[in-house]
A and B are shown apart, each in its own frame.
Chain A
Amino acid sequence: MIKLENVAFKYREEEAYALDHISINFEKGKWTSIIGHNGSGKSSLVKVLMGITESYEGNIYIDGKQLNNDNMKDLRSRFAIVFQNPDNQFVGATVEDDVAFGLENMGIEREEMIERTDYALKLVDMLDFKKHEPHRLSGGQKQRIAIAGALAMKPEVLILDEATSMLDPKGRQEVLSILCDLHERLETTIIYITHDLTEIYRSDKVVVMNQGKAVAEGSIDEIYRDKELLKESNLKVPYTMELSEALLDGTYLTHEMLVDRL
């Protein structure tokens, strides 16, 4: 679906590459997680993917078509993104206005807009909050609205850039379960960027980033077994994993699975 080939990028004032010639293949309908600690290049990757910065080296292919200045707007309109801070991406004065914002920009007819707004709000289970103002919502609810805003545009790829890092555990769980549900039902391609290893249990593929490089790529199990790598990349192994290692066979388990096994 999206293929990065030797993509590199550096900030104007800096010497070192923020993204150091990385190649990643994001497959259609799959959940790919990108993990890395602060400053590992995760956000730069988003910037390049979403075209927030245009000065990168290397090639990006979308469905086999190379991204260039002419087709960029068109191809990128198939992506939607949810950012970290729920407050700073809420444009509308009410929930429904915010969900419709992207549709308004696309110039969609009003009837269809209403339909798609309701559809997206139903997907994240927030239809009852349609008329609410953002400051009356919790962080988790705001992020769900942001997801609805992204879904209303019917994207093929949904990118989440640390979308749960500012939420409390409850909000985080809310957002994650909505995402899992969507991934199953709509088969949306998901690119999930995080530094929290407990959040990636749904991934089909995990990419570990460190100092601008993609240092490893593999299934959750493969990544988790490589303790050295995680340590080098400054990533914290979840306690479930440590328990599994100590008591069981060391396969990756979520909290519930671990309880069951024990």
Chain B
Amino acid sequence: MLSSMLLGRYTPGESVIHHLDPRAKLISVILFMIIVFFANDWLGYGMLILFVLAVTKLAGLSVRFLFNGLKLVLILLIFTFLMHIFLTKGGTILVEGGFFTIESNGLITGIYITIRLALLVVITTLMTLTTSPIELTDAIEKLCKSLKAVKIPVHEIAMMMSISLRFIPTLMDETEKIIKAQSARGSTFMTGSLKSRITALVPIFIPLFMSAFKRADEMAVAMEVRGYKGEEGRTHYRVLNWQLKDTIAIIILLILGLILLWVRQ
């Protein structure tokens, strides 16, 4: 199940969306998050759904692929839907049970909120699917550059992010190795009560932390001997290239927002 999980994953590709500047994608997603709240009727939500479908198509991904990868999120969506159905009151009574009633307002808000949440999940997933983590880090670094004026170490934070991202697969492998080593010594992780399963994790985490610190130490030495001394006097191998299509993407988002404001009831 976890291996098909799409949250935060990146799939390399050559689509238009893949080739957009990561800054453009990040800004667009933030704009979209605002625009979603403009919609308050079927027409508005319909347009947003169409927009997201269009982006999915442009990214060269299929709806089915997204749906399969986001199944876990579905649980959250259903939960939200049920909460609204049972707890939001008003309008005509649709179903009347012993201790609960479902009213029309509840049903409608439930559907709206669920769609809203689903749209947000899908659009952010589309961004991470089409942008490599390192590009996203670059985008965040560039967009937050002005924060340096208020003494926020933007470069250092970005460097830390990119190194952490680079170490995720390494540490995953390591975890697997430790689990195997501990299993070979007779530890069980999959059986027993919840409490015993949690305590069984301790012998995994301690060696993992130990090795992570050791790696960090060696990494620091390796960076130092390769001349790393912070941002000053440093040039960049990787550059971001803002093109016309990136501006167009932002304009499309702004137009979408305006239309939604206009049709809004």
Contact = CB atoms under 8 A, between A and B. Distances in A.
A88 B222 contact: yes
Contact of A102 (B134, B215, B218, B227): B227
Given A97-B134, A149-B226, A110 B237 contact: yes
A122 to B, nearest CB: 17
A33 interface: no
Contact of A97 (B219, B233, B238): B238
Q: Specify the main secondary structure of chain B where it touches its partner.
A: helix
Contact of A81 (B132, B225, B239): B225
Nearest to A105: B227
Given A77-B227, A93-B132, A102-B227, A107 B234 contact: yes
Contacts of A153: 226-227
B223 interface: yes
A77 B227 CA distance: 8
Contact of B221 (A52, A80, A96, A101): A52
Contacts of A108: 235
Given A52-B225, A91-B226, A93-B134, A104 B170 contact: no
Q: Specify the main secondary structure of chain A where it touches its partner.
A: helix
B228 interface: yes
A109 B235 contact: yes
Interface residues of B, number: 30
B169 to A, nearest CB: 4
Considering residues B221, B223, B236, B239, which has the most beta carbons from chain A within 10 angstroms of its beta carbon? B221
A163 to B, nearest CB: 12
Contacts of A97: 134, 237-238
B133 interface: yes
Query: Could you say which interface size class chain A belongs to?
Result: 35 or more
A90 B102 CA distance: 58
B226 A102 contact: yes
Interface in B182-241: 214-215, 218-219, 221-229, 233-239
B63 to A, nearest CB: 28
A218 interface: no
B166 interface: yes
Given A91-B219, A101-B237, 5 more contacts: A80-B226, A91-B228, A105-B234, A109-B235, A153-B227
7 contacts: A83-B218, A90-B166, A97-B238, A101-B237, A110-B239, A149-B226, A153-B226
Interface of B: 132-134, 162-163, 165-166, 169-170, 173, 214-215, 218-219, 221-229, 233-239
9 A-B pairs with the lowest CB-CB distances in the bound complex, closest first: A100-B237, A89-B222, A135-B169, A93-B134, A105-B227, A88-B218, A102-B226, A107-B233, A88-B215
Interface of A: 50-52, 77, 80-81, 83, 85, 87-94, 96-97, 100-110, 113-114, 117, 133-135, 149, 153
